[in-house]
């Protein structure tokens, strides 16, 4: 599991809480890289929400490039999805990947 990018700007979720966002990724059994977003509660670092898989790329470099192109609007939408899905990475351990097939 790799953290590819950590965003500096805080996001405010529909729940009124503030979050920091990061892109996490890992290589699958075919050598492709799958990435998802995690949102850490700025006031309760034990609470971490995550999306399902957001992209699959052929290699790490392309996955990093994808991550650098994420806009604020995209991050806001991903936070909304994470809140709606209720995928709390802190419950299962922040080092676990999203379930296969989860996410956009």
List pLDDT tens digits, range 16-42: 999 999 999 999 999 999 999 999 999
Average pLDDT over residues 8-13: 95
Computed over every residue of the chain, the mean pLDDT equals 88
Sign of the CA dihedral running 49, 54, 57, 62: negative
3 state DSSP class of 28: coil
| This model's pTM is above 0.75 | yes
Average pLDDT over residues 39-63: 94
Give yes or no for a contact between 38 and 97, defined as CB atoms under 8 angstroms apart. no
Average pLDDT over residues 60-82: 97
Task: Sort residue 86 into left (φ over 0), alpha (ψ -120 to 50) or beta.
Answer: left
Query: What pLDDT sits at residue 90?
Result: 58
């Amino acid at each position: 599991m790799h953290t590819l990018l950590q965003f500096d700007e805080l996001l405010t979720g529909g729940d009124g809480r503030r979050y920091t966002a990061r892109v996490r990724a890992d290589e699958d059994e075919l050598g492709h890289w799958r990435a998802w977003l995690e949102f850490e509660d700025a006031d309760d670092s034990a609470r971490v929400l995550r999306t399902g898989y957001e992209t699959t790329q052929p290699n790490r470099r392309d996955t990093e490039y994808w991550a650098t192109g994420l806009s604020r609007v995209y991050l806001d939408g991903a936070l909304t999805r994470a809140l709606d899905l209720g995928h709390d990475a802190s419950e299962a351990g922040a080092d676990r990947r999203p379930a296969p097939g989860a996410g956009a």
